[in-house]
Amino acid sequence: MIDMAKVSKKNMKKETIVKKSRGMTESSAATEPRVVYDDGDDEEEHLNEENISSEEEQEGEDGVSDERKRQKLLEAISALGGKRKNKLGERSEAAVHMSEFTVNADGGGDKVDLSDLIGNIDKTEAVPNKTKNQLKTLQQNEKTIETPLSKQESERIQRNVAFRKAATEVTQWKGIIQQNQRAEQLIFPLNQEPSGPRAMETVVTCWKAQTPLEQEIFSLLSANKQPVHNPILTPVEEATLKAMSFEEAKVRRAELQKARALQSYYEAKSRRERKIKSKKYHKVLNKAKRKDFLKQFEKMVKTDPAAALEELNKMELARMKERMSLKHQNSGKWAKSKAIMAKYDEGARKAMQQQLEVNKDLTQKLVTSLNNDQEEEEEEEEGGNPEVIPEFVNDAEQSVDSSNPWMRGKLFEPPTEREVRDTVDFTEEGPTAVNTAVEDDDEEGTEEERLLREFDHRRRLRQAEEADIVAVITVEHEEENKAAGACVSVLEEDEEENKASAACVSVLEEEEEEEQELSKLNSVFQGIANTHLDAEVEMAEATADTNHVDTHLEEGLMRIRTLEDVALLSQMESVADQTPVQPLTSPTTENMLSTSKMVGKNSKRKRGIELKQVLTKESKIIQVPLALTVEDKEDSDEMLDQRGLIKEAFAGDDVISDFLKDKRKQEDVGKPKVVDLTLPGWGEWGGMGSKPSRNKRRKFRIRTVPRPPRKDQHLPSVIISEKRNSSISLHQVNSLPSPFVNHTQFESTIRSPIGRMWNTEQTVNKITNPKVVTQLGAIIEPMAKEELMKNKKQVSTGNSSGVEPIKTKRMKQTQKK
Amino acid sequence: MASPGKADVKSPHVGKKKKPPARYWENLQQKEGGNNDENKDRKDGGKAQDAPRRTQKRKLEETRRDRNKFISGKSDPFPGPAPIPEERLQKFKRKDKMKKPRKGQRTLKATIAHSEETCEMAKKQAARFDLLLPEDAGFLEGDEDEDTCTISQDDIADAVDITSGAKYFNLKLSQFGPYRVDYNKTGRHLLLGGRRGHVACIDWQSKQLMCEINVMESISDVKWLHSEEMYAVAQKKWLYIYDSKGIELHCIRKFNDVLRMQFLPYHFLLATASSTSFLQYLDVSVGKEVAAICTKTGRLDVMCQNPHNAVIHLGHSNGTVTLWSPNQKEALVKMLCHQGGVRSVTVDKTGTYMVTSGMDKKLKVYDIRAFKPLKSYFLPAGASCLSLSHRGLLSAATGDIVQVYRDVWSCPVTKPYMAHRLRGTAWGLQFCPFEDVLGVGHGDGFTSMLVPGAGEPNFDGLDANPYRSVKQKREWEVKALLEKIQPELITLDPSELGKVDYATFDQRHQDRVKALGFDPHAKEKFVPKHKKKGRSSAGNIEKRKKQVAHEDQRDIIKQSVEDKLRKKDFGKTEVASLSGQKSALDRFKK
C-alpha cells in the first residue's frame, strides 16, 4: 500500500515535470539539441496515467504487479547510473500472470527520482544535518548534466593544446634565430673559442682568481668588503659618500613638494581662467593688463631707460605684425554684420567707415620729421654698406611725450602718388644712375598716372579675355597683325617686324653700335618670349619696345618683389612706349646692357643668368707688371691670323644671336607638337572664309604631354643635351633590390666607395666581411638547448649583451686578419 | 693606428708624474681624510648650482668613472677615442645622412643602419689617417710693399735650396720653332715637341736626355701615353706613336690632321681633335678607335679634359665651349663663353672650375658643375694658353709673358701672383704634377719656372708615384690596366653610374604592375581601425584618415620650414652682428 501511494505520488510529480519540460521543449525545441525527454517517453507517460487509474481500480490484483514494479524500480535505478542506453524494446514472453491492462511497450521503465531514494531521510536520525541540507539542495537543483563532447571535438581540443605547447617551445628559439640572421658575421661552428692571441682588454677584464691562494685572498677581501679593483675606497665608504645626509634630504623633499604643489595650483588656475568664455571678462582683463603694462613702462622709462627701449622695440614689433596682418579691416565678424546692415542703416555705415579709417591709420606708412621718404628709399637700396644707419634710430626713443610713442611724425603722401614715385626711384637704382630721364618722368607724373589707370583697365580686360586662351589669342592677332594663320607664323612675323624696327634704329645713329646689338638681341628675346602663351600681353608693346632701348636700359636692375611689381613693370613699359622718343642723354656702358626684358617676363627667369649679363659682365682689369714686347707673331699662317683679327674686330657681333637661334632650335625639337585634326566643313558650314568653330578646334586639337623642363631652362648661355645616355644604362641597376623601398635609399647605400683606393685597410675589412665563415674540417652541429639557455641568461643580464658575443668574435676575426 | 676601439685601453698620453700605485692598505686613514676633503670641496662648489643638477652630475661622473676603470683603479683622463676636427671630417665626407624609414621594414632599417655605420667609420678613419699626409704646400711671400709678381725667377732660385733652385732652367732651342710641352702623370718626364719637327724626351729632374729625334715634319702636339715608355706625336698628316727611345711604334692613319691631343689616364684613351673638326678617341690599351665624332664646328685647336669625369672640352671660334664624351654624337653641353673665339680652356683637378680665355681678351671662370659664370677678368693682351696646377694656381701666357694667378675663383684678382718674361712667345705651358714647377714651351726653347705652391705636396703612391722604381712601375701598369675604366662609363656626372636607371626601371615596373594587377611598391592605404561605441562614425573615420594624410609631404614641408627658420635665424644673427644693416621690417618704422 505504501508503495503504491508513493508510486502514485511520484507519477503525479513526474507528470508535472513532464508538462513543464514539454512546455520547454515546445519553446526551445529548435534551439536545444539536447532535450532530455524524447517522444517515446511521453507516450510512456500517457500510458502510465492510464495505468495508474487502472491500478486504482484493481487493487486486488496487487500480487501480480508487485514483481513487475520491483523490476521496474531496479531498472530505473540502474538507469540513473549515468549512461543512457537506448533501451531495447524488451519483448516478454507470454506469461502466466498477464494483465491486460498493464501492457507496456518497453517494460514501462520510468525514472527514479532522487526524492524516491531519500524521501524518508528526514526522519532518520542517523544522517547528519549537513548531508541532509546538501541533499536538499541537490534535490532542488534540476539542471541536467551536459552530454560529454564528441570524439572529434575533444580531439581537436587536444590537438590545439599540443600545438600551443609546441609553438611556445619553438618560439623560444626565435630570438636567437633573429639575432643570428641580423648578425653581420656568423662564424661556424658557432660557439667556438677563437684561436690566436686575444685582445689585451679582454684578457685583462676576464681575469679571475684561479689558484687557491688567489681565491683565498679574494674571498677574504670580499668577506671584509674590501675593494678589489679600486684600492682607495671600500664599497661601504663609497656608499656613505654617495648618500645625502638625512636633514638635507628632508629639506630637499619638502622643497620639491612645495614646488610641485604650487605648480599644480597655478596650472589649475590658469586652466580655469582659460576656459572662461565671457568676452567681456577677457576684454576687461586685457585692458587691465594693458594699463598695468603702460604704468610699468612709464616707471621703467624713468628708472631703466635701456630696458624701456627694449620693451618699446617689442611693442613696435607687435604693432608691425598687427599692421601687416591688417586686423582692422572689414574682415571681422562685427564688420561683416555691419556691412550687411550698411545698406539700410546710416549708423552702421558710419561705424564701418570709422573702422576703415582706423585701418587706414594703422596701415599708413609713417614718416619721421627728420627724414623724408626718398632718403629712406635710398637707404633701403644702399643696404649693402653697414655704415649707413638711419639717423632716427639714434634719436628716436629719448623724447617720449605722447602716450603712443610710435605715432609721431607725419603721414605719407597719398598712395597713388607714392606709387609713381616708387617706380621712379627704382629706375634710379641703375648702376650709373641716369637722372635726366627720371626727372622727365617726374614732370610727367600726373600724365603717367592717367595713363597708368588706363593701362590697368586695359590689362584687366585682357586678363578677363585670357580665360579662353587659344581662340582669343588668335583672333587678337588677326586684329592686330591682319595675318591669319597659326600662332607660330604670327610670332615669326612679329620677330621680323622687330628686326625691321631694330634696323631702323641702327640707321639713326652711328655712335650707338652697342645699342644696335642690343636691340637685335631684344628682338630675339622677344621672339623667345612670344613663344609663351601669354605672348599677346607683350604684342602691343613689342614693336615699340625696340625703339626705346634706353628706357629699358635704365630699368635694368629693377627689383621685382611682388606680382604687382611685375604688372607695374609691364605698365611702365607701355607708358614708355607712349611717351615720345627722347634723345639719348648718357653714354651707355657695358653694364647697362643687362636689360630687364627677361626679368620682366617672369620672375622665375630672374634667377637664371641673363645671357648679356654673362657675356658683358663687368670684368676686372688686371694690371700686368711686365709690358708686352713681342707680338703674337707665332700664329704662323697669316691667313689664320687675319681671320682671327677679323673675328676680334667683330667680336660678339653675331655670336650671341647665333647661339640663341641654336638654342631655340634645340628647344623646339624637344617640344611636343600640337596636332590639329579639325576638318573644316564637317558638321558646319564650309567654304571660303569660314572657320571651324572654336569649340570644334578645341575638341580636335590633340596636345601631347609636355616634356619635363629642360635642364638649361634657367641658363641662357648654355645648351645641355637632353639625349639619354644609353651606353651607361647597361651598367646601371634597373630594378630596386629587395629591402629598399625607394631609389634614394638604394642610391645612398651604394654611394660610398668600398675599395682599397678610397678606404683604410680596417674599413675595407669591415665592409667586405663575408656574412658566413666556416672553418675547414670543423663539424657544424645543430644548436643545442644550452645555447638557448645561455642566450636567455644574457638577455636577462644585459639587454644589449645579446648581440655582443658575435660582435666581439668579429672583432677578433678582423684582428686576426 | 689609433682606432676607436682600442683608444680607451691606452694609458693616458699626457700623464702626470708617475706615482707608485696607491694601495688601500697603505695609510688608509690619511687617504680617507684627503678624499673627504676633496668631497667637501666639491660639495661647496656644487651648492651654488641647483640641487637636481648636482645629483645628476654626480651620477654621470660615477658612471663614467665606472666605465673607465682599469684594474689599477686609475681612470682615463682622456676617455674615448681622440676627437677628430670637424673640418677634416667634412673633407672626407662621402654622402649625406639617410633618412630612416618610418616604421616596420626591419630589414631595410638594418641595411640602412649598417651602411650608415660603415660610411661613418670610413669617414672617420680617413680623417684620422689624414695625419699621415704631412707635407705642406709652398708659398711665395714678398717683403713689405713688395709685390710677389715683381720677384724674378733668379731671385727665387737663389733663395731656395740647391735642388729646388736647379729646377729653374732654360733650354735654348731656337732652331726648331715654338715648342709644345707635356709632363707625364708622375711629373718626372718631360716631352718637348718643336713645331719644326724636333721631339725630345727628358728626365727633367736629372736633366737626362732619354731620346731626341727630328720627325722631319711639322708637329702640332705631343702627348705622353699612360707611362713614360710611349708618347704620341701629332704630325703634319698622321698621328704617330713613339717609344722612349725614339723608335716609331705606330703610324695611325685613321687619325689625320690632328691639332690637339688629350690622354685620359684611367680610361687609356687618347682623344684627338683635328683640323677637319673631328674628335676621335683611341684606346691605347687595345689600339682601337673607340669613337669618331664629327663636331661640325670647324678647326679644333682648343682642347682640354676634365680630370674629374674625363669629359673633353673643346673651344670654338664662335665663342662657345663644347663638352664631349665618346658615347654621344652631339655635344653634351654647349656654353657660350666669349664674344670672340675661344683661345684656351682649362679645367681644375676637382672638375669644379673651368677657366677660359678668348679673343675678346677676357679671362672667365666658370663653375662647370652648374655651368654658371663666377668671375670675369679683362687681360689687356688676352691669354693664349692657360694651365691650372693641382693646387689651383692658374698660369696664363700673354705673348712672351707668363703670369700666374692665385685663387681666381674665390676672390677677385687684380694682379698676378707671379710673372715672368720669356725669350719668345709662349706656345704651350703646363704645370708639373707634384712639383712647384711650371714648364713653358716658347719660340726660343723651353723654360722651367719655379712657382711656389703650385704642386700637390702629398702624392698618392698607388696612383702616381714620382719616385717609383722600375718594378713598381711595371706593377702599376698591370694594375692600372686591370682597373681600366671602359669608355662607355664616361658621363657628365660620374655618380650617375650609381643611380637607378629610371627609364628602364619605370618600364619594368609598369609591366610588373600590369602582370600582377596591383602595384607592389605602392604605399599601403591607411585603413582606420574599427572602433566601437559609435566612435567609428563616418566623420570620425575621415578625421582619423586626415591625421595621417600626406605624411611624406608633411615631412618635406616640415623640413623646408625648419631650414627656412634656421636660415632666418642665421640671418638674424648676422643682422645683429652688423647692426647697421636693415631688416625687411624696418620699412614699417617711422
What pLDDT digit, counting tens, does each position of A664-684 carry?
998 888 788 888 888 888 888
Residue with cell 600551443: A164
Q: Is residue A320 within 8 Å of residue A363, measured between CB atoms?
A: no
User: How close is the nearest chain B Cα to the Cα of A224, in Å?
Assistant: 13
Contact A734 B580 (CB under 8 A): no
What is the pLDDT confidence band of residue A645, given thresholds at 50, 70 and 90?
Answer: low
- Beta-carbon-side half-sphere exposure of residue A700 (alpha carbons within 13 Å): 12
pLDDT at B303 over 50: yes
The tens digit of pLDDT for each residue in B132-157 reads 888 888 888 888 888 888 899 999 99
**Residue from B117, B120, B302, B500 whose CB has the most chain A CBs within 10 Å, to mutate:** B500
pLDDT at B206: 92
Contact A749 B111 (CB under 8 A): yes
What is the pLDDT confidence band of residue A334, given thresholds at 50, 70 and 90?
Answer: confident
Pairs across A and B, CB distance < 8 A: 323
Longest dimension (CA), chain A: 167
Contact A630 B108 (CB under 8 A): no
pLDDT at B436 over 50: yes
Contact B114 A184 (CB under 8 A): yes
Chain B residues closer than 8 Å to A408 by CB: 590
- Which among A227, A619, A658 has CB closest to B318? A658
Cis bond upstream, residue A672 (ω within 30): no
Can you tell me the mean pLDDT for B226-245? 94
Cell of B38: 676633496
User: How close is the nearest chain B Cα to the Cα of A151, in Å?
Assistant: 38
The tens digit of pLDDT for each residue in A504-546 reads 333 334 444 444 444 444 444 444 444 443 444 444 344 344 3
**What does the alpha-carbon distance between residue A738 and residue A746 come to, in Å, rounded to a whole number?**
10
Residue with cell 590633340: A702
- Which among B22, B95, B129 has CB closest to A752? B95
pLDDT at B414: 87
pLDDT at A630 over 70: no
**What does the alpha-carbon distance between residue B495 and residue B207 come to, in Å, rounded to a whole number?**
42
Can you tell me the mean pLDDT for A12-38? 43
What is the pLDDT confidence band of residue A644, given thresholds at 50, 70 and 90?
Answer: low
pLDDT at A810 over 90: no
pLDDT at A559 over 60: no
A378 versus A319: the higher-pLDDT residue is A319
The tens digit of pLDDT for each residue in A378-424 reads 444 443 343 333 333 343 344 444 455 454 444 444 444 444 344 33
Note the helical H segments in A345-486.
346-363, 373-381, 392-395, 415-428, 435-443, 445-465, 469-481
The tens digit of pLDDT for each residue in B345-399 reads 999 999 999 999 998 889 999 999 999 999 999 988 889 999 999 999 999 999 8
Interface of A with B in 361-380 (CB under 8 A): 365-368, 376, 379-380
Q: Is residue A495 within 8 Å of residue A568, measured between CB atoms?
A: no
The tens digit of pLDDT for each residue in A238-268 reads 777 777 778 888 999 999 999 999 999 999 9
- Which among A406, A715, A724 has CB closest to B590? A406
**What does the alpha-carbon distance between residue A817 and residue A432 come to, in Å, rounded to a whole number?**
72
DSSP state of A405: G
The tens digit of pLDDT for each residue in A415-469 reads 444 443 443 343 334 333 334 333 444 444 455 556 556 656 666 665 555 444 4
What is the pLDDT confidence band of residue A132, given thresholds at 50, 70 and 90?
Answer: confident
What is the pLDDT confidence band of residue A611, given thresholds at 50, 70 and 90?
Answer: low
- Which among B94, B115, B359 has CB closest to A648? B359
> What does A621-650 look like in DSSP terms, one character per residue?
EPP-SSPP-S-STT--SHHHHHHHHHHHHT
Using only C-alpha atoms, chain A has a radius of gyration, in whole angstroms, of 53
pLDDT at A785: 81
What is the pLDDT confidence band of residue B273, given thresholds at 50, 70 and 90?
Answer: very high
Can you tell me the mean pLDDT for B43-58? 45
Can you tell me the mean pLDDT for B85-106? 85
User: How close is the nearest chain A Cα to the Cα of B318, in Å?
Assistant: 6
pLDDT at B469: 93
SS3 A331: coil
Contact B500 A734 (CB under 8 A): yes
DSSP state of B371: T
End-to-end CA distance of chain A: 109
> Which chain B residue lies closest to A407 (C-alpha atoms)?
B590
The tens digit of pLDDT for each residue in A758-802 reads 899 999 998 898 989 988 888 888 888 877 777 666 655 544 433
pLDDT at B424 over 80: yes
pLDDT at B136: 87
ipTM of the complex: 0.76
Can you tell me the mean pLDDT for A290-295? 91
Which pairs from A525-531 meet CB under 8 Å and 24+ separation? Answer: A525/A597, A525/A598, A525/A660, A526/A494, A526/A495, A526/A498, A526/A597, A527/A491, A527/A492, A527/A494, A527/A495, A527/A498, A527/A664, A528/A660, A528/A664, A529/A597, A529/A598, A529/A601, A530/A491, A530/A494, A530/A495, A531/A491
**What does the alpha-carbon distance between residue A594 and residue B368 come to, in Å, rounded to a whole number?**
23
pLDDT at A18 over 50: no
Angle (CA) A690 A694 A695, round 5°: 125
Q: Is residue A731 within 8 Å of residue A725, measured between CB atoms?
A: no
Residue A501: other Cβ atoms inside 10 A: 19
pLDDT at A44: 45
B121 versus A386: the higher-pLDDT residue is B121
pLDDT at A511: 40
Contact A766 B398 (CB under 8 A): no
> Which chain B residue lies closest to A641 (C-alpha atoms)?
B359
Can you tell me the mean pLDDT for A332-338? 78
Strands across the sheet with B311-315, in order?
A: A718-720, B333-336, B320-324, B311-315, B302-306
Mean pLDDT of chain A: 65
pLDDT at A358 over 80: no
Using only C-alpha atoms, chain B has a radius of gyration, in whole angstroms, of 33
Chain A residues closer than 8 Å to B101 by CB: 741, 745
Contact B582 A383 (CB under 8 A): yes
Mean pLDDT of chain B: 85
B238 versus A181: the higher-pLDDT residue is B238
pLDDT at A462: 57
B9 versus B247: the higher-pLDDT residue is B247
**Residue from A763, A765, A806 whose CB has the most chain B CBs within 10 Å, to mutate:** A763
Chain B residues closer than 8 Å to A324 by CB: 588
What is the pLDDT confidence band of residue A47, given thresholds at 50, 70 and 90?
Answer: very low
**What does the alpha-carbon distance between residue B262 and residue B96 come to, in Å, rounded to a whole number?**
34
pLDDT at B307: 95
